């Protein structure tokens, strides 16, 4: 849950980062997967094809070797059949072995299955009757490449034989050349030429699935016909296939036939090795793409920062509308794209309107609606400021004489207009720094900053005369009485209160003195 909340409550920059980095990673991952799959298929196909080609090449070489061996044996059989005086069986078997370098030994068997000649000598005695299990060539009486068998001398070998027919068509026996499979025979030599440096290896099976050649010589002669890939090779077809070997390891195998002997050549490579190469390739791709990926992520981070910055600043400032500098802060925000710029304008407008409203409300709450002079609340703010600044001042308490009579005679509306007119007159008459406040129905307090008592009394007299000489709507003339109070020492709340009370007291005196006159306070804080 905390992680979920963190994601949901995250800011714009994190959201942009999450979104873009997520997209980049998904795209990258997908690309890697696609590349991996394509490469894997390519690598497998090319390995299968390469192994098939190798198998075909080796099979072709074996085919050539066996064909050549069959020709050699057929030629010798021809010579022996014609009983050429210059050709004895002993010489012929020796020639067959020495000349072609294909055979390890050669032997001539007569029609009684007795050894007539053998080379190298001593392998078997002349006159020796070959055992039943090695009489395939003897009985079949046709050119033959035998299956592997064990000779009496303990070798695993194949025999390539050709029958010898007399001129009258009589069967005289056969001549055969043998090739050892488990020793340094011509087949082994041929196969070893195709050894691989890696774990790829080849083997040759005959039509019964018996191993004729294998990288591990001990396995020669083993029957592996149950293996699926061997069964393919035994079918004398050419192709490739993914299959398990005898150790249950997955192999990519290619196979091809040797038609002359019904053999199959199989070349195979462990799949794991191929995939290992692919994995290191993919790792390489990953390493090489890392700098660009890192650069992309940094660019995304910077862009996310730049995109979210103006909005973040706007949001932060929008939460601080009470801050005096908030508008300046918002103006300084670099809104470099359309949406941010529109939002900035909207926020500025909204804050402007809000301030306007607040100012209006503030002014309304401090102003008397009839006269637009300060009311008691507005006056108090100024007095607090005077106190804070230690501002010296004199104060005039002003009251309209016999105002009740005005109301009674002309009505309340006219009374209101008289009050308004008097306020306008006072504002016009007073200096800019002076402060006029309406503190009661027809009572006013006027504050004269930096004005001594004498000067204030003179100003009050002038004002009194000015009012008395001014025409008022309907009423024509009114008079006012004014009391003057002053501050004589330090300005504090008590001194201010006392000055106002002095002015009130002086006003009372003025009223008692017959009105339309000014009285200054006789007492002071010092006295």
Ligand X SMILES: Nc1nc2c(ncn2[C@@H]2O[C@H](COP(=O)(O)OP(=O)(O)OP(=O)(O)O)[C@@H](O)[C@H]2O)c(=O)[nH]1
Among 88, 407, 420, 470, binds ligand X (CB under 6 A): 407
Count of chain residues binding ligand X (CB under 6 A): 15
Strands 518-520 and 480-486: parallel
8 Å CB contact between 256 and 52:
yes
Q: How far apart are CA 487 and CA 505, in angstroms?
A: 15
One of 412, 431, 477, 494 touching ligand X (CB under 6 A)? 412
Smallest gap from Cβ 379 to ligand X, in A, equals 17
Phi, psi of 119 (to 5 degrees): -140, 135
Query: Under DSSP, is residue 144 helix (H, G, I), strand (E, B) or coil?
Result: strand
Q: Among 402, 452, 488, 501, which residue interacts with ligand X (rule: CB under 6 A)?
A: 402
Q: Is 415 in the site for ligand X (CB under 6 A)?
A: yes
d(CA 371, CA 444): 11
CB of 513 to ligand X, least distance (A): 12
Query: Which of residues 276 and 441 has its CB atom nearest to ligand X in the complex?
Result: 441
x/- letters, 418..437, toward ligand X (CB under 6 A): -x------------------
CB 459 within 8 A of CB 518: no
Nearer to ligand X, 254 or 415 (CB): 415
Nearer to ligand X, 141 or 511 (CB): 511
Range 290-319, binding ligand X (CB under 6 A): none
Distance CA 174, CA 286 (A): 67
Which of 416, 465, 490, 492 binds ligand X (CB under 6 A)? It is 416
Strand 250-258 to 480-486 pairing: unpaired
Shortest reach from residue 391's CB to ligand X, in Å: 30
**Smallest separation (angstroms) from ligand X to the CB of 406:** 7
Q: Tabulate helix, strand, coil % of the chain (nearest 5).
A: 50, 20, 30
Return phi, psi of residue 105, to 5°: -155, 165
Of residues 463 through 522, those in contact with ligand X by CB under 6 A are: 511, 515
Structural contact between residues 483 and 510, judged by C-beta atoms closer than 8 angstroms: yes
Which of residues 399, 453, 459, 506 is near ligand X by CB under 6 A? 399
Tell the smallest beta-carbon distance from residue 399 to ligand X (Å): 5
Position among 364, 441, 471, 494 found at the interface with ligand X (CB under 6 A): 441
Three-state secondary structure of 173-229: EEEEEEEECCCCCHHHHHHHCCCCCCCCEEEEECCCCEEEEECCHHHCCCECCCCHH
Could you list the residues that contact ligand X (CB under 6 A)?
399-404, 407, 412, 415-416, 419, 441-442, 511, 515
């Amino acid at each position: 849950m905390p992680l979920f909340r963190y994601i949901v409550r995250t800011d714009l920059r994190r959201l942009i980062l999450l979104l873009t980095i997520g997209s980049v990673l998904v795209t990258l991952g997908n690309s890697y997967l696609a590349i991996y799959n394509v490469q894997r298929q390519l690598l497998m196909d090319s390995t299968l094809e390469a192994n098939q080609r190798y198998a075909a090449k080796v099979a072709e070489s074996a085919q050539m070797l066996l064909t050549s061996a069959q020709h050699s044996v057929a030629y010798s059989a021809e010579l022996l059949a014609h009983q050429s005086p210059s050709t004895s069986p002993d010489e012929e078997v020796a020639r067959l072995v020495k000349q072609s370098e294909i055979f390890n030994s050669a032997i001539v068997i007569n029609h009684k299955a007795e050894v007539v000649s053998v080379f190298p000598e001593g392998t078997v005695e002349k006159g020796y009757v070959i055992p039943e299990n090695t009489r395939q060539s003897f009985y079949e009486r046709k050119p033959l490449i035998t299956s592997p068998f064990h000779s009496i001398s303990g070798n695993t070998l194949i025999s390539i034989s050709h029958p010898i027919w007399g001129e009258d068509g009589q069967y005289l026996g056969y001549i055969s050349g043998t090739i050892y499979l488990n020793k340094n025979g011509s087949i082994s030599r041929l196969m070893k030429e195709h050894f691989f440096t890696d774990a790829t290896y080849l083997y040759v099976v005959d039509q019964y699935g018996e191993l004729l050649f294998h990288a591990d010589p001990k396995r020669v002669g083993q029957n592996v016909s149950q293996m699926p890939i061997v069964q393919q090779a035994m079918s004398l077809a050419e192709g490739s296939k993914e299959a398990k070997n005898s150790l249950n390891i997955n192999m990519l195998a290619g196979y091809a036939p040797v038609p002359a002997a019904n053999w199959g050549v199989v070349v195979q490579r462990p799949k794991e090795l191929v995939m290992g190469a692919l994995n290191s390739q993919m790792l390489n791709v990953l390493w090489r793409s890392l700098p660009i990926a890192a650069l992309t992520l940094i660019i995304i981070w910077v862009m996310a920062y730049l995109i979210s910055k103006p909005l973040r600043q706007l949001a932060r400032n929008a939460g601080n509308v009470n801050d005096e500098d908030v508008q300046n802060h918002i103006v300084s925000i670099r809104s470099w794209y359309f949406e941010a710029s529109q939002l900035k304008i909207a926020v500025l407008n909204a804050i402007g309107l809000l301030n306007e409203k607040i100012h209006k409300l503030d002014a309304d709450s401090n102003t008397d609606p009839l006269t637009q002079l300060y009311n008691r609340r507005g006056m108090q703010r100024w007095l607090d400021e005077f106190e804070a600044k230690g501002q010296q001042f004199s104060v005039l308490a002003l009251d309209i004489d016999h105002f009740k009579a005005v109301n009674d005679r002309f009505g309340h509306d006219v009374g209101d207009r008289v009050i308004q007119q008097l306020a306008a007159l006072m504002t016009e008459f007073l200096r800019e720094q002076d402060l006029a406040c309406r503190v009661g129905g027809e009572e006013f307090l006027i504050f004269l900053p930096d004005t001594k008592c004498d000067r204030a009394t003179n100003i009050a007299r002038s004002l009194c005369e000015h009012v008395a000489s001014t025409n008022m709507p309907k009423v024509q003339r009114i008079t006012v009485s004014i009391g003057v109070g002053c501050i004589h020492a330090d300005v504090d709340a008590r001194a201010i209160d006392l000055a106002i009370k002095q002015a009130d007291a002086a006003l009372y005196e003025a009223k008692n003195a017959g009105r339309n006159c000014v009285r200054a306070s006789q007492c002071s804080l010092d006295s």
